[in-house]
């Protein structure tokens, strides 16, 4: 095994929280205009009784379709964000960069985009089904979570 200084659970958790905040702020900035559209169309007003003209119904349908698209984007954005950032020369997400940790293959090399996206997908799926699976790193000597084991990666300090 190479002599890497493994990133501990605390640093990884803080990096994950920072990434969550970064993505949340980004999505908030995307969703804010939709509140304005609904208010502009009068759907948020106290006197709205539910009767729509055909033009209002069409505008509501277009807004709803756009809203569904943004929700779908919100489901895949964390995978894309994590996959692209880990495959970049930084080898870290913004949160990981702040915490001065990065992801490498078990042999120390940089991940390619395929390996990075496999890691991101497994990380997202395990996080959605059971957040406690992120505690797996506490129970193995290489401090690897399921997504690290799947992609054969380590999270190390810079």
Enter the pTM of the model: 0.77
- Give the model's pLDDT for residue 127: 84
- Give the model's pLDDT for residue 20: 93
R_g of the chain computed on alpha carbons: 21
- % residues pLDDT > 90 (the chain): 49
Beta carbons of 85 and 94 less than 8 angstroms apart = yes
- Give the model's pLDDT for residue 26: 85
On the question of pLDDT at 46 being above 70, the answer is: no
Per-residue pLDDT tens over the stretch 65-111: 677 777 788 889 899 999 999 999 999 999 999 999 999 999 999 99
Cα distances from 108 to residues 113, 132, 141, 157, 158, in angstroms, run: 16, 27, 17, 12, 12
């Amino acid at each position: 095994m190479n002599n890497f200084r493994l990133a501990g659970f605390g640093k990884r958790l803080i990096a994950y929280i920072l990434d969550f905040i970064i993505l949340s702020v980004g999505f908030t900035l995307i969703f804010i205009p939709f509140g304005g559209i609904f208010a502009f169309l009068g759907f948020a007003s106290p006197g709205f009784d539910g009767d729509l003209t055909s033009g209002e119904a069409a505008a509501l349908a277009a807004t709803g379709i756009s809203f569904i698209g943004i929700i779908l984007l919100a489901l895949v954005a964390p995978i894309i964000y994590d996959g692209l950032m880990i495959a970049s020369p930084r080898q870290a997400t913004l949160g990981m960069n702040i915490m001065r940790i990065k992801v490498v293959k078990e042999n120390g090399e940089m991940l390619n985009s395929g390996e990075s996206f496999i890691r991101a997908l497994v990380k997202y799926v395990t996080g959605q089904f059971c957040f406690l699976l992120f505690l797996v790193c506490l129970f193995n000597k290489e401090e690897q979570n399921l997504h690290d084991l799947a992609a054969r990666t380590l999270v190390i300090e810079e």
